């Protein structure tokens, strides 16, 4: 089934969807977005995603021209019209159409785009066997230049890191911050499991605080795992019993080798499997 696209009040198909070449989202990456999952026609944690979208917009001085309630209705309607049982939503707010200068005041109205489609980051066997990763030479952007809590349209540093992984022939990359501490993957949060304790970089360390990350922390505590939000270095990952990534598009996927070091047994571990099962149950339940 083809994707469904809504742009500033008009529905389009993929072949006919258009944005202006003067939109500052295109010219400068000036905008914010969310990726949201649909399971069995049920939108997973839409309220949390919209809270983050509106907070991101406020952080970059964009006034979204729809209330949260109206945005909720828009997304729900787009999902219904798409006819997809399981889907991936990309919701964007750009600065809007302006001139070729940087001044955001020249953009009188932000643009809203909602895409309902499907997504698959890796083949199904990667979820069964786990990913091979390397530490990318390119670090994440410095947190004082742009807050990592803002989910902006500019992902160039993460794309460059992804290119380094592609060139090396691995599935995924792990990015460090300017101090050499572990931050996140190219578009996902990261967990290491050691002696039954889940460890993940803290939100203040330069990471995007993921909606799936928060859900996994909740599920882990319900399952009586200890959870620590602490700074991690590569040694902590190399010597972990398990390592996995979380994200809206990725869901939960194990990393079984990093920088040539086998992680744990070299296969997805019991905590990863249990939390994946619990997450699937949470995401697909009918409440």
Which residues are known to be catalytic?
A: 151
Phi, psi (rounded to 5 degrees) for 92: -125, 145
Long-range contacts of 25-30, Cβ-Cβ distance < 8 Å, separation of 24 or more? 25/92, 25/94, 25/95, 25/96, 25/111, 25/153, 26/94, 27/98, 27/100, 28/95, 28/102, 29/152, 29/153, 29/154, 29/156, 30/60, 30/94, 30/95, 30/104, 30/153
DSSP 8: T
Nearest C-alpha neighbor of 88 from the set 251, 286, 229, 223: 251
Distance CA 176, CA 49 (A): 25
Phi, psi (rounded to 5 degrees) for 246: -135, 145
Distance CA 247, CA 207 (A): 12
Between vectors from CA 45 to CA 221 and to CA 145, what angle results, nearest 5°? 85
The sheet carrying 10-12 orders its strands as 10-12, 4-7, 111-117, 87-94, 31-39, 42-43
Distance CA 237, CA 232 (A): 8
């Amino acid at each position: 089934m083809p994707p469904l696209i809504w742009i500033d009040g008009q529905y389009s198909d993929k072949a006919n969807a258009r944005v202006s070449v003067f939109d500052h989202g295109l010219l400068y990456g000036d905008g914010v977005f969310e990726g949201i999952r649909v399971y069995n026609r049920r939108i997973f944690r839409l309220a949390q995603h919209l809270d983050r979208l509106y907070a991101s917009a406020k952080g970059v001085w964009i006034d979204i021209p729809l209330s949260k309630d109206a945005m909720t209705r828009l997304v729900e309607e787009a999902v219904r019209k798409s006819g997809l049982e399981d889907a991936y939503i990309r919701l964007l707010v750009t600065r809007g159409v302006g001139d070729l200068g940087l001044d955001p005041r020249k953009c009188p109205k932000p643009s809203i785009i909602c895409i309902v489609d499907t997504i698959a980051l890796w083949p199904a066997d990667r979820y069964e066997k786990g990913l091979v990763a390397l530490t990318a030479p390119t670090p994440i952007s410095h947190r004082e230049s742009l807050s990592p809590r803002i989910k902006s349209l500019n992902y160039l540093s993460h794309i460059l890191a992804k290119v380094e992984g592609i060139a090396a022939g691995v599935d995924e990359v792990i990015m460090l911050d300017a101090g050499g501490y572990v931050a996140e993957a190219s578009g996902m949060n990261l967990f290491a499991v050691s002696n039954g304790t889940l460890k993940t970089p803290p939100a203040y360390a330069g990471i995007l605080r993921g909606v799936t990350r928060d859900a996994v922390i909740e599920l882990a505590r319900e399952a009586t795992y200890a959870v620590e939000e602490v700074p991690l270095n590569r040694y902590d990952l190399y010597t972990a019993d398990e390592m996995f990534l979380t994200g809206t598009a990725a869901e939960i996927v194990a990393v079984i080798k990093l920088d040539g070091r086998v992680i744990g047994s070299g296969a997805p571990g019991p905590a990863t499997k249990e939390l994946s099962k619990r997450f699937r149950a949470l995401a697909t339940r009918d409440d």
